Structure 1
Amino acid sequence: MSGRGGRIAQVNTFVALLRAVNLGSHARLPMARLREMLGELGWQQPRTYLASGNAVFTAPLEAGAVAVALREELAANGLDTEVMVRTGEHLRALAAAGHPFAAPGVEHPKLQVAFPLHPVTPQQVAAMPVPGGETARAADGEVFLHYPDGVGRSKLTTAHLQRHLGTPVTCRNFGTVRGLAQMC
């Protein structure tokens, strides 16, 4: 694709993480339809991972433009949800660095990554009240979480994170992060 002055626009690999998709009967979106929408936007190699709103694709745009265009496309198709977009390079680096709370015997579902819509600082995360035995740490623009008793029993919910960080977030377990990184 040509840019200004005949230059070729750089094609980037992106990961889109849709917030609160396919949880129970809420915000239903078949992954085949998500792949179709990505293709309709003119983006290449659309692939999805699991059924929870994770997609990998290439586009000749910047991450911010991708997020806006995809959110508008989703809204036009009846789904109003936030879209967190990261580069494939960023996700590969997160996976390669490992989860800071990983330890022998700790299962991936207990290791989560919260992807904020807007940047948060380590100071915001450090000041956030963290209930029970859970732990939260900001690193590489994301919030790494450890739920020793599992996510289902925690009070460190997405709503809690959003309220104290002041921005929408979507969470993925570290196994999903690694799977998406491999797709990139």
Structure 2
Amino acid sequence: MTPYVALLRAVNVGGTGKLAMTTLTRMCEAAGFEKVKTYIASGNVVFASNKSEAQVRSALEDQLHAHAGKRVGVIVRTAAEIAATLARNPFADQPGNRVMALFVDDKLPREPLEGVTGIKDEEVRLGKRELFVHYPDGMAKTRLKIPGERTGTARNMNTVAKLAELAAAIA
């Protein structure tokens, strides 16, 4: 079985997309996933499955659609990919809560700042299937807009590290 991490987009953020993590656990189990564990109430779940990444995404999206009555975006990565994302962090010397990985399934831009607006002191770097963003002053007052935000989902490096740890434990 492959250990996976699923990152739900716009769940329990700013009072929108309410989803109890116990409900998410039940949905994952109903989709046939094993060793299901959620992490904080923002749509992070680790589990094991014999299905492919595409099959995992589709099964979870179908469960979420049936529950919410609308499509909820899901980004899926293997445990190894999450660990590699953590290892690739170009801002590893910065506080983990000030660095985000924006996970996307769309093609990454050729240049990290392509289409980006509102940049001030933030730094953006290309990853493999993600963009890394360093917010030196935090995210609260940023005006930074990244095109991939519309379809991707971001997690800070502290969360990525914890997800990598949880996913490795179920391998």
TM-score normalised by L of structure 2:
0.90
Aligned to 2:44: 54
Q: How many pairs align? A: 165
What is the aligned-residue identity percentage?
33
8 A contact 1:125–1:165 mirrored in 2: no
Aligned to 2:156: 173
Aligned letter for 1:145?
V
Aligned letter for 1:86?
R
Q: CA deviation at 1:119?
A: 3.0
Aligned to 2:79: 88
Which has the higher relative contact order, 1 or 2, with Cα contacts under 8 A spaced 6 or more apart?
A: 2
Residue deviations 1:104-156, cap 9 Å, x none?
Answer: xx3211111000132314x1524233510101111122100000110111112
The 1:43–1:170 alpha-carbon spacing in structure 2 relative to 1, beyond 3 Å, is: same
TM-score normalised by L of structure 1:
0.84
1:146 equivalent to 2:134? Answer yes
1:64 equivalent to 2:47? Answer no
Aligned to 2:115: 128
Q: What CA distance in whole angstroms lies between the structure 2 residues aligned with 1:86 and 1:177? A: 11
Aligned letter for 2:106?
H
8 A contact 1:48–1:55 mirrored in 2: yes
1:77 equivalent to 2:60? Answer no
1:113 equivalent to 2:96? Answer no
SS where residue 77 of structure 1 aligns?
helix
Residue deviations 1:74-118, cap 9 Å, x none?
Answer: 0100153100001111011222x2520232xx3211111000132
SS where residue 140 of structure 2 aligns?
helix
Rg: which structure is higher? 1
Pick from 2, 10, 17 the counterpart of residue 12 of structure 1.
Answer: 2
